[in-house]
Structures are given as structure tokens and as C-alpha cells.
Amino acid sequence: MLSTDTVAAEAMNRGLLITIEGLDGAGKTTLATALGDALGERSIDLRLLREPGGVHAAERIRELVTDPRVDIGPRAEALLYAAARAQLVQEAIEPLLRSGTSVLLDRFIDSSLAYQGGGRELGVGAVRRINEFATGHLQPDRTLLLVVDPAVGLSRSQARGAPLDRLEREDDAFRQRIASVYAELAAAEPDRIRLIDAAKPPDDVLAAALRELSDLI
């Protein structure tokens, strides 16, 4: 059994879990890349991962849940995302955090709460419970929520020129429900979830993100 001093030392040396959230087209991946570079320049030991994905099994699930040719029911979709998340936490996130390496994660549990809990109308509480089981109740130290009008997010996704995935092809009501749940989550946890105006230029978004992380880094 670990001593109290050992547990305290491990907690002090543990890496940070920073997540980036928002609607499709909000600029999460752009911010994740820029933020990873900026934190690396500050000599912060950091690993950038994405969801669903990040490890082999989760990347296979990603191929399935994003494929517009595949018919997946709402409950199966929620469980698949949770399964990918469970594998990522076990195989990559927890080992990195224990070793003292911080993790910058493009999406995490809040995405499922918004997309499956809100967008698919499964209920935030139900989706939260399966994800708490999947992750062992792992919580981010800070979440950066990129706020963008749903119509703008869709326009950005379409402008990429790549085929839209299963979720990106959903209707306006779906995106509005997602945005509403994200707003509710942010209002409930203002210390953890920090709002960033994603309509601003990328450099301004990066600067805002760094400000919202300044107390941690």
C-alpha cells in the first residue's frame, strides 16, 4: 500500500489534462496544433492527442463512427465513443499523466455530453454515466470551449473541401442542441470550462487560450 507521502508526491508530479471542445468547424484542431507548439516553446512536457483516436483501437473506432455510409443508432454511437475513450485513457492518457507529461486533448467527455446527450437527445446524465465508467471518472484540469455560431461552424466545415462525416451531415436543429448543451456545461463549471470566441482570428484565439491557462502553466 502506498504511503500518504508517496501519494502526495505522485499527485504533485502528475501532468495536466487540458481539453479543447466546440462544434465542428470551431477551429479545435487548429488551436490544438498552435497551442501545442506554444506550450512546447515554454519547455512544457506535452503530448497532443485527439478523440476519437490517439491509439490504434480508438482510431479504428473513429473510422467507423465517422463513416457516413454506416448506419449507427444513437445508443450504439454513444457507446462506441465511450469505448474509444476508455482505450485512449488506459493506453495513453493515464500513463502519460502519471509520468508527469501533460496531455492536450482535441475533444473529451464534454463532446459526448453535447453531441450524444444533447444532439442525439439521449440525455446528458445517461451519457455522463457511461463515460465516467469508461474513463474511471477522469476529469480535465482545464477545458477550452471554442464558441462559434452553428451556421458558421458548418460553413467552415464545408469550406475544407473534404466530404462531411456522419455528424457533420446532421441538420441545424442537431447543431443547435449541441451548442445549447455546451453552454449549459460551461455555466455549470466556470472554473474548469473557459469560453473562447472562435470567430476571432487564429492568433487571437491562441492568445486567449494561453490567458485561460496562465494559472496552470
What is the value of pTM for the model shown?
Answer: 0.91
Q: What is the DSSP letter of 52?
A: S
Mean pLDDT of all residues in 117-143: 98
What are the Cα distances from residue 109, in Å, to 51, 53, 156? 10, 13, 23
List b or e across 73-91, with b for residues whose CB sees 16 or more CB atoms inside 10 angstroms: eeeebbbbbbbbbbbbbee
Sequence spans of domains, the chain: 19-213
CA–CA separation, 80 vs 77, rounded Å?
A: 5
Q: Answer whether residue 162 shows pLDDT above 70.
A: yes
Residue 153 pLDDT grade (very low, low, confident, very high; cuts 50, 70, 90) = confident
Give yes or no for a contact between 85 and 135, defined as CB atoms under 8 angstroms apart: yes
Residue with cell 501533460: 102
**Does the structural domain 19-213 have CATH classification 3.60.70.12?**
no
Q: What angle do CA 63, 144, 197 make, to 5 degrees?
A: 105
Q: Which residues are bridge partners to 17 per DSSP? A: 103
Residue with cell 490544438: 32
pLDDT digits (tens, 9 = 90+) for 69-113: 999 999 999 999 999 999 999 999 999 999 999 999 999 999 999
Mean pLDDT of all residues in 45-59: 97
Work out whether strand 17-22 and strand 102-106 pair parallel, antiparallel, or are unpaired.
parallel
Nearest alpha carbon to residue 99 among 13, 12, 4: 13
